[in-house]
Structures are given as C-alpha cells and as structure tokens.
Structure 1
C-alpha cells in the first residue's frame, strides 16, 4: 500500500499545504492553544519552539505496538516541546522546558528533518513515527515535501497527545497514514489540573473523530505491520482519574471497532508526587477493569507495548 502523502506530493498539493502551515507560524495557531505569537521572529509560545523543530532523539523503536514495530522497528522521532503539560509525563525531560526554559535537543530545518526521515528508511524502519508532533506540524510538512521528492515511501504515524486542532488536522488529511493519539483525561476539571488544558476532553474527542473519519479501521499488511488506520492509546490512571469507562464507551459509539491500546505502565513521574491521587501506582484490577470496558464497547484491544517488548526480548534470549 502506497503511503497517502505520495499522491499529494506528485500533485503539488503537499507543498501547498506545507506553505499554508508555515504561514500560520507568524501568528501561531497550529495547536489548540492558539498562542498567536510570531515563531519565525523568535517569539515563544506555550511549546517554547521557534521557527524550526527541535529533535531530542530518533531511532528504531522496538517498544511500540507490535503492528508498528514489525521486524525493522518503528522509525521514531522525539520532538522537544509539547502543547500539553501533563504532570505525570514520562518524557517530561524533552516534552517540557528545562530549568533554563529552553528545549532539549538539536534544532533542524526542513532539509535536516528530511534527512532524518530518509536515514530511518535506509536503516530499515517500518514507518516514520512522529512523537509529540502537533506544535511542529508545519515543520513536518515542509520536511515531508523534501523527503518525498528524495524517495521516502514509509507510512507516516502521527503519535500525538490527542490535543490536535481541527484546522491542523485538515492539513493532514491524506497525509497521515496512521493516527496514534492518546485519550488522556475525560473530565474537564481533571484535565485542567493534570494537563493544564481544561478543553482537552472536547478537543480530543473532536480530534479522534476526525482521525477516524480520515483513516478508519487499522489495516495491516501480510506481515501484520500497520499501513493505515487509527490506534488510540489510553493510559489508565489511579483512582479512575483518566475516565477509562467513559472513553471506551465513547470510542465504541464514535469509532466502532477501532484499535485501542489500554496501557498499565503508569508510574509517578515528573510532578505527579504533588497530587495525592497520583503518588502511587495502579491497584490490582484497575487495568483489567479498563480493558474489560474496551471489550464491552466492541473495540479491538491491542497489547501493552511494554509487555510486548518483554516478550520479544525473552524470545530472542532463548531458553535458560
């Protein structure tokens, strides 16, 4: 299956969308924060990222969902900065500013980012997996134009927190092959406390519905590797703070049969210790209960990547 963006690249539409997105940086509204600042002029908004993307790391990742990993690993790029500020973030060192207020990583222009895409393809990666991409959508699009011209032909994975604006998703229609959003917190009051985004539930529900419209059910090739579709990640939080049952019910009604990964690897990270409910891990039964909600809603339940990685490592190690 040919990646979606190649047809747009051939027609010139991809380049036009990149130009449209870059123009929006001058009064930035790429993410739902709509900071309105001039990023090319050096003004800093919520994400603290300027004209160019800042890349913290990239590699072939074998800890993602099995359908993304395949045999070559998921070609994962970790972008610095984020449009959310989750108090329990497990990647907070790169997603949220350091003590000096600056992003961690290497600043790359479009050509530099395109080279990374092509390097991961040359190494044998199964896809290009963009982690925390929402605030650098423009930079990704202009890099994708260059990479497509130079032979990129891997599926594009949009690995976001689910906090994606309708206008930006419109630019990604026909560009992204696989959407991999989070469904984080259901209740607006909890979203305000834990994500610094009271509107997160409404924004995320609208975003997930649009992602589903664009790509639909997960499509695998004959090796079991994802080529297209929606995979929703849901991290179960202590004391039901994530609203797991509500999320699963909503997904069952609005994205029937969608693939979901209900994850149980919560641990108190970053600023979680400041919140009494988040100071401990999950109770026995919390994860099973959330997964049962997914099954009851008719969703396609995927495995926890952490468990799958352990299984693959044990398989490679062989018998004791």
Structure 2
C-alpha cells in the first residue's frame, strides 16, 4: 500500500493529467526541472568562477547565483500553481452552478408541463395555485443564485453599496424563520428563537437578512432530523449579538480556516445534500464587516456548531 502510494506520487504524468494541464504548465513537473537547472547552474558557476578568481570569491558567486535561481524558480512554480488552482476553481464553479441552476429549471419545466398537460385536471384552484407557487419558489431560488454571484463581483471590484437604517434583528429573524419553514419541515428540524434584547442596530436590512438567512439555512441543513436550531439575540459590550447553534456533525478541522472563503463547500455537503454555491458565508462575512460588525463560529466535530455575528448597537 505504502509502495504503491510512493510510486503514484512519483508518476508525474499521472499527477499532471489529474490537474488537467500539460507538462510545461504542471507544478509537479516544473519543480524537479527547476531543481535540476539550479544544480547544473551551481556546478557550472563554480567551475567557471574557480578558474578566474579566488575560492572564497567563487563560493560567494555560487551562493548569489543559487539564491537568485532559487527565487526565480520558486516564483515560476508558484505562478503555475496559481494557474492550476484557478483552472480547478473555474471547472468546479461551472459544475456547481450548472447543478444549482438545473434543479430549479427542471422543477419549473415540470410545473409548466403539468399546467399545459391535457391529461391532468388543473381546474381545481388549489392544484393550480400549488403549481404556480412551486414555480415562484424555484424562480426565487434562481434569483438568489444570480444576485449572490453579482454581489461577489461587486465585492471583488470594491463596489459594494450599503443602505443602512435602524433595524431590529428579532423582526428580520422571525420573517426568515417563516421563509425557511418549509425547509425546516422537510428536514424535520425546528428553529427556536430566544430574544434577550430589543435594541436596534444600524445596518442594511437586505444585507443582514441575507446573513441571517445563510447562517440559519446552513444550521438547519447540517442538523440531524428531530433536532432543533437554537437562535439567540442578546447584547454584550455595546453590541447586539445574533447566534445560531445546532447539534450537527460539526466542521472538520481541516475545513475551518476555509469556511469563509469564496466558493468553499465542506466535504459534508454531499453527506447532507445541502447544495449551494459556497458563497453564503463569504458574502455574510463581507456584509457584516462592512457594517462595522464581526462574525465567527465555534465548532466541535460530532457535537455541532455555533455561528454568530455582532453589530454595534444604535
């Protein structure tokens, strides 16, 4: 097993093929090549320098050339590593966005076919309303996906805009709990809200609603059936805190540093079939920090997680 792993790691052609690039763009190939070039350059430099100058000077020249070549080689390899990573992210993004848009589009198509079908009797108003409601829900999902991608672009171009006003986190949370009631029911998970303060904050209601929606939806989807998500709103040190705690699987240690990164999705996304583009927490962090607040989480594997954010009290 160990020998096979070693041989596999030495198979440069296979490793380059796995990342989808040619030899001269593959970091696994460029690293040994640059190393070989540096070794040859050191030998040639030493042989030439030792003939025309003192040994001490020759040694200094060799050190200088080695340092220069090492820096250049490292820069080249790192540049191609970044290219490979960008290519991987692009492919992954296309795959994710295709999947996320295909689901609501398929649901809309099915609903429209049902409405147009001559074999189904859609005269009953409740049946027709149910289908139309389904179309509306899927349309809202697609709008959220597109709006999220547009917000990512605005953040990267430093063009994000805020429309702050006095808002109450309790009111926003109650509305979002209602919006996610069908999700909670399908997952057999409850959302319990406990409010310890009614103090307002000054922030953009749409942006903060997005933050609450993203955190709460994740908390619900990563919770075991029959459990509940505990939401708390409280005041501490002049700030209003909002938190959501669940008893799910928790976040693996290797994922914790990446949790707020753009397009990052935990390995448990397939286990819980949670879907998503991996931009909810990235945008949430940007929105909260732009509003003068903080965001973070605590997590323990097999016990659950607590996500929180705080905003200055008015």
Quick check: TM above 0.5? no
Normalised TM-score (structure 1): 0.20
Normalised TM-score (structure 2): 0.20
Larger % of helix: which? 2
